[in-house]
Chains A and B, each alone.
Chain A
Amino acid sequence: MRITVLIVSHICLPLLSPLALLYQVPFFLTMCLEVTANGMVKEWIYSGCWLSKSVAQLKSSTYHGSVRLDCLPVEVDARSNISVSDERQQFAYFVGPQHMEKIVAIVDKKLSAHLNKPIDLINFSGTIGKTQGTNYGKELENIIASPEVQNNLLNITSNANRVVMLDGRFDAILEEESAAKHLYDIGGV
């Protein structure tokens, strides 16, 4: 059996290797890298594909993040850094937890005093950006599902969406810490 694994962060690589050795599972590791405009591999990237989808479907996925999914020549059998949800349990098994993902809020300075913890989202008056298709865990997702938050929620479907934050489209963005750091590094926020 060959399992193709989509590695979302470099953390996953050392963790999968001993599992493969322990139980003789020949993992085939597909490392997903971001390719910059000039063709240089920049760094480990972030992806939000679904295990049940083929690569062809991934290309048209609603989540793009900063990944070039069209560089993947295979179907994805496993991926790291995935939250448990009822929907995902329909098509995936979960092993771990592998990591405690830290969700951060990038907030416009003018409104930052009003957003310090997840529950503050309910009374937050600004627009909130969240990457479409992501799941940040039950606690945060329950708050996001409230009508007050839904009224202010805008889905981020590409990096271009994120970059326009500075132009006033979003007052806050929810993002996984490493992805947020990536956005800082590339000047997206």
Chain B
Amino acid sequence: MKLDFSNNPVFIGLSRKSVRPEMAKRLAQAWKKLAANDEIIQLYRLYGLSYKPYLSRLVLLNKLD
């Protein structure tokens, strides 16, 4: 038997060993821009994938130095 149980936001993780803080910030900013323009939703649709819209509070979970 399978039960829907819990939802959990998952991220793209970047190694601190190989990605400099500036690049991580650029990528985070790029991500926010994509999200703000609904481009991520469109990408999911393009590939026939389901997607749950982000909660705005979740975007703030980015932890960058």
Contact = CB atoms under 8 A, between A and B. Distances in A.
Interface in A1-57: 1, 3, 5, 10-12, 14-16, 18-19, 22-23, 25, 51-52
Contacts, number: 181
Given A97-B58, A97-B59, A136 B49 contact: no
Interface in B1-55: 1-19, 21, 23-24, 26-28, 30-31, 33-34, 39-40, 43-44, 46-47, 49, 51-52, 54
Classify chain B's interface size.
35 or more
Nearest to B1: A112
Interface stretch (A60-68, A76-84, A155-163): A76-84
Most chain B beta-carbon contacts within 10 A, residue among A75, A82, A91, A94: A94
Interface in A70-95: 75-84, 88-89, 91-95
B3 to A, nearest CB: 5
Contact of B62 (A12, A88, A95): A95
Contact of B3 (A11, A15, A23, A104): A104
A180 interface: yes
B2 to A, nearest CB: 5
B28 to A, nearest CB: 5
Nearest to A117: B5
Given A93-B24, A100-B52, A136 B8 contact: yes
A19 B32 CA distance: 11
A169 B49 CA distance: 35
Given A79-B13, A97-B61, 14 more contacts: A18-B34, A51-B13, A77-B17, A77-B18, A82-B12, A89-B63, A93-B64, A101-B8, A101-B9, A101-B10, A102-B6, A103-B8, A136-B6, A140-B6
30 contacts: A11-B47, A14-B44, A19-B27, A19-B34, A22-B30, A22-B34, A51-B13, A78-B12, A78-B13, A80-B10, A80-B12, A82-B10, A94-B61, A94-B62, A94-B63, A95-B11, A95-B12, A97-B11, A98-B10, A98-B11, A104-B4, A105-B2, A105-B3, A106-B1, A112-B1, A116-B3, A137-B6, A140-B5, A140-B8, A174-B5
